[in-house]
Amino acid sequence: LFLSLTVASGRAQVQQEPFLETTEGSGINISCSHPSKLLGDQIHFYRQLPGREPEFLALIARGSKDLPDISGRLSVSEDGRSSALWLRRPRRGDAAVYYCALDP
């Protein structure tokens, strides 16, 4: 199972690892750095499956939330400078390009 990441940007620069890979069923953490995030800014996560349009997964401003539809969890660090999408048990169908974007 390959999970590929790319960089997205909104008002402020966000950074992601260019490529991650894991085996089917082994959890993976997809992190996003956004050092310019302000208190009210929201982080959006998307994924784009091969041959498909990008799909909205979730948004978050702070804290964490479960994403049962993709067996994952989205969280923001306490200082708000980074966020992470944790996929608990990724399957072959989860291989995609994952994006994060910052929205004021």
Give the span between the Cα atoms of 22 and 6, in whole angstroms: 16
Domain boundaries, the chain: 18-103
Taking the CA atoms of residue 4, residue 7, residue 8 and residue 10 in that order, the dihedral angle to the nearest 10 degrees is: 150
Tell me what pLDDT residue 91 has. 83
Q: Domain 18-103 belongs to what architecture?
A: Sandwich (2.60)
pLDDT one-digit tens code per residue, 41-63: 888 899 888 899 999 999 998 99
pLDDT tens per residue, range 4-34: 444 444 444 666 666 677 777 788 888 888 8
**pTM given for the model:** 0.78
Q: 55-58, long-range: CB within 8 Å, 24+ apart, which pairs?
A: 57/85
Question: Residue 99 and residue 79: Cα distance in Å, rounded?
Answer: 21
Q: Give the distance from CA 14 to its chain's centroid.
A: 11
